[in-house]
Amino acid sequence: MDITLTSLEMEHSKLLSSKIATEITSLSGWMPFSRYMEMALYEPGMGYYSAGAHKLGAGGDFTTAPELSPLFGAAVASTILPILEGLKAQGLPSQILEFGAGTGKLAESILNRLNELGFTLDSYDISEISPDLAQRQQARLNQLTTELNCSTKCSWLSALPKNFKGVILANEVIDAIPCDAIIYQSGFWYWHGVSFMDNQFIWKSGKPVEQALLPESLLTGSFSEGYITELHAQANAWISQIANQLDIGLFLTFDYGFPESEYYHSQRLGGTLMAHHRHHAIQDPFHLPGLCDLTTHVEWSQIARNALMENVDDVFLTNQAAFLLDAGIGDIALEIGDPSNPETFLPISNSLQKLLSEAEMGELFKAFAFSKNLNALLPGYVLEDLPGLRGRNRL
């Protein structure tokens, strides 16, 4: 892998590495991996999402579904439109809150599609921790609302609103929430943390993991010596908070991951942690801190259980392909393109292939949703009546 770094990039990564190493020393030589991941991604002014590096698209480190095609956002609009119409029918503001909105492409695609369908959204709020991405979102959405001449108010929030009524969206957010690594040794699970030796970060086992923190699959399964996996306390706490503060409406997220039985499969020996840099997948999570994205797959079963503990109506999990097809992405593609014109339809067809193919994003990426007090908004409606969520529930 040949990646040429500028002197500024090298200095940036060295400064963050030094800061992390200093904290490891202050912690007697051992740091939980979740703290390392938090600093690598979110350390103010230095972490991957807190500094000004270009992250998304062809020149960035990874490409998301909304970046591939506006069809993705148009399909999402089909799912959430009944909720938004229900809000208006009840005399409530029609509003969307998106976490981690990237470059703003998903918001742009949704607002464009709602405009095409003759629906005017009251507000589109965004919670974004990356200052440079927030600036790109503001520029894109301010231009869009001017072009559409619509009254939708776009705002950037620093905290989750309480008793939120509306739609909450998150695309590839949960995978970037810091997780902890654990390792199986001599019949017990131990925290797998980070030490600093010979001027480099290394893995180092810590104390035994409290049994109450281990999912059933790890307590009852059979695992080989040195098996490594992850625990997701922060992601589960985040979903609990979202479910608690959603008063009426829908939560919908997209991310790569597996249900518990697949996530903690005995053959998944090395866990799911991965770094990304300039469209390269890197196995070493300690590679170029501050310059690489760090992600882990989502364990959907515990995410669903945590949501249910906050009294949501129901939870739903399907793969991205099934969601998009049920939401009508094929019909939307035919609306905007003519299959008899290869010049214009070939790019549409190529993006559909990437979004839907099992070998691309169609199977690995999942759509997860829950509703809360949906019947008060849409009498007689259940979660699985919504377009995109009418197929087989994989939970």
What does the pLDDT read at residue 231?
Answer: 98
Provide the whole-model pTM: 0.94
Return the domain boundaries, the chain: 1-395
Report mean pLDDT in 10-residue bins for the chain, 395 residues: 77 96 97 98 92 53 85 98 97 97 96 96 95 92 94 93 97 97 98 97 98 96 97 98 98 97 95 89 93 96 98 98 98 87 87 95 97 95 97 94
What does the pLDDT read at residue 145?
Answer: 95
What does the pLDDT read at residue 310?
Answer: 98
What does the pLDDT read at residue 57?
Answer: 44
pLDDT tens digits, one per residue of 222-275: 999 999 999 999 999 999 999 999 999 999 999 999 999 999 999 999 999 999
Pairing of strands 298-299, 164-171: unpaired
What does the pLDDT read at residue 56?
Answer: 45
CATH number of the 1-395 domain: 3.40.50.12710
Contact residues for 309 (Cβ-Cβ < 8 A; gap 6+) = 240, 243
What does the pLDDT read at residue 62?
Answer: 62
